[in-house]
Amino acid sequence: MHELTKAPLPRRPDLHVATEGEFVGWRTWIRDSFESHVGPFWHRIEADGNVRSAFRVEKKHLNGSGNVHGGCYMAFADYSLFAIATHVLDSRAVTTNFACEFLDAAREGELIECTGEVTRAGGSLIFLRGKMTSGTRVLLTFSGTIKRMKRKALPQPNA
């Protein structure tokens, strides 16, 4: 267990809550090795029920020009899709579609945040859109589709 987290909530054993540092009370998932490696990315549910995601830009997030790498923006936006879907997503899911527009650059030390909304949640598909900001600057807008996954039976050996 990461030193900044406490015991997980019963519903999501991979969900951890920060107990110290800048993101005290914010949540993160630890099941996704890639996001854990490129993050840490955090999210919380605001008083109005909306979800906000955030991360603090470190040197590892930068490209050769000293700006946040576009791949980092996209990874954080994808993380945010799932955070935004928190209220309607109760099982494993995958991103099936993702589109974004790069609007501005961010630098080391900046706090980057995402907010968004579920535009439609059907039986298996969830449609979302969001906005990534640093202060008052809009850095990226994005939209995506998440597909709920059905649990599959494990294949039988020698079948």
| pLDDT of residue 92 exceeding 80 | yes
Residue 41 has pLDDT above 80, yes or no: yes
Least confident segment among 38-42, 75-79, 141-145, 152-156 = 152-156
Question: Which segment of 30-44, 70-84, 86-100 scores lowest on mean pLDDT?
Answer: 30-44
Q: What are residue 100's phi and psi, to 5 degrees?
A: -150, 160
Which of 155, 20, 21, 38 lies closest to 29 in space, CA to CA? Answer: 38
124: its two tokens: 């298996």
pTM given for the model: 0.83
Q: How confident is the model at residue 111 (pLDDT cuts 50, 70, 90)?
A: very high
